[in-house]
Chains A and B, each alone.
Chain A
Amino acid sequence: NAGVTQTPKFQVLKTGQSMTLQCAQDMNHNSMYWYRQDPGMGLRLIYYSASEGTTDKGEVPNGYNVSRLNKREFSLRLESAAPSQTSVYFCASKIDRGRYYGYTFGSGTRLTVV
C-alpha cells in the first residue's frame, strides 16, 4: 500500500517548456487534489477532482491543466512553464465517506523553471 505517489520528485524546466506531473493513489479515494507550496507559504489549491470524470479550479489555476484519467490517477500539466511556477507541488487524496477523514499527501515534486 504505497499511498499517494508523485513522479517525478525533481524537475528543471526551461521557460516555455511543457511537462506533466503524475499522481497516483492506491487507496480507492474519490477526491484528488493538486497544491503548490511557495517558500514561506502554506499550500494553495490549484485544481481538484471530487470524483472520476470531474475537475474544478482551485485558488490558483492559471497556467495549469489537469486530467482525472481514472479513479487512481490525477495529472497536472504545465503547457508553457514560467519562472513563477517554480514551486513544490503536492498531490493529495481523500475518501469522501463521512467527510471526516484526513487527507493523504504525496511527498512532492520540486519544480524549478529557469
Chain B
Amino acid sequence: SQQGEEDPQALSIQEGENATMNCSYKTSINNLQWYRQNSGRGLVHLILIRSNEREKHSGRLRVTLDTSKKSSSLLITASRAADTASYFCATDALMNSNSGYALNFGKGTSLLVTP
C-alpha cells in the first residue's frame, strides 16, 4: 500500500492566497520530499526535508515535518495560476529487504489556482 496520504485530495484557491497541503505516512523515514506534477507531465522535485529537520523554506515554499505524528505539510504562499498542478509527498525509506532506499508516494493533492 502507498506510504503517504495527502489531504485534501483537491484544493481550489484564488491567486494570492496561500495553499496548504498535508501528508501523513506510516513508517520510519530517511527524509520526506515534495514533488509537483503538471497535467500529463513528469515530476519535478520541489523540496526535501530530512528526518532530523522540522522546517524548511525554499522561495514561496515552506515545509514542516513532525516525525512524532508522522506528518508533513507543504505551504505555498502567494499562489499563482502557474502553481496549478498535482502535489505529491514521498517518503524516502529503506525497503523491507534492506537492499536500498526507495520513494513511496501518496496519492497527491490536486491544486487549482484561479486568476
Task: Identify the A interface with B (CB < 8 A).
Answer: 31, 33, 35, 40-45, 48, 50-51, 54, 56, 58-59, 90, 92, 94, 96, 99-108
Contact = CB atoms under 8 A, between A and B. Distances in A.
Contacts, number: 76
Interface of chain A: mostly helix, strand, loop or mixed: loop
Contacts of A107: 41-42
A45 B99 contact: no
B2 A103 contact: no
Given A54-B99, A56-B99, A108-B42, A43 B105 contact: yes
Interface of B: 1-2, 4, 30-31, 33, 41-43, 45, 48, 50, 88, 90, 92, 95, 97, 99-108
Q: Which of B50, B92, B95, B100 counts the most A-chain CB atoms under 10 A from its CB?
A: B100
Given A42-B4, A90-B42, A105-B43, A100 B102 contact: no
A44 B90 CA distance: 11
Nearest to A48: B102
Contacts of B108: 41-42
B105 A44 contact: yes
B102 A44 contact: no
B42 A105 contact: yes
A49 to B, nearest CB: 8
A31 B101 contact: yes
Given A50-B99, A56-B97, A102-B33, A44 B2 contact: yes
Nearest to B9: A40
A102 B88 contact: no
Contact of B107 (A42, A90, A94, A106): A42
